Amino acid sequence: MAQKLTDLFQQQKANEPWVSVEFYPPRTPEGVENLKGRIERMQKGLNPVFGDITWGAGGSTSELTLELSKAMQDDYGLVTNMHLTCTNMPAEAVHTALEEAKAAGIRNIVALRGDPPNGLDG
């Protein structure tokens, strides 16, 4: 089971710097493959404490965010912190996203209001 970020933070030594990484879901299949390679390189090169995957406004990247979060955790061994932006999302969609993240073993979620998609009011 994936570790919680709070536990990881407690394990870090005082006054020693640490790194986290954040990625947003690409728009193309080629971009997804490029990102997966980048995640792997950064995991090996930087040894980040955790990685974030952002969530598109209104759930526009929800499936890809979940897929990338699972890959970052399962394929690359990086503790994952998945963003969940709730603006313009029905409560049922938020609940579904949380259930899917739980089923995938993702224990760290940043739930935010977020900005509305371009042209829409929040």
pLDDT tens, position by position, 25-36: 999 999 999 999
Report yes or no on 118 lying in a domain. Answer: no
Report yes or no on 63 lying in a domain. Answer: yes
Residue 94 belongs to what domain range? 48-112
Q: Please state the domain count of the chain.
A: 1
Place of tokens 């950064």: 42
Report yes or no on 6 lying in a domain. Answer: no
Contacts by 8-15, CB closer than 8 A, 24 or more apart: 8/49, 8/50, 8/79, 9/49, 12/49
pLDDT tens, position by position, 35-85: 999 999 999 999 999 999 999 876 788 899 999 999 999 999 999 999 998
Report yes or no on 99 lying in a domain. Answer: yes
Place of tokens 């493959």: 33
Catalytic entry in 16, 22, 92, 100? 22
Is 63 catalytic? The answer is no
Report yes or no on 33 lying in a domain. Answer: no
User: Cα separation of 15 and 23, whole Å?
Assistant: 26
Q: What is the pTM of this model?
A: 0.86
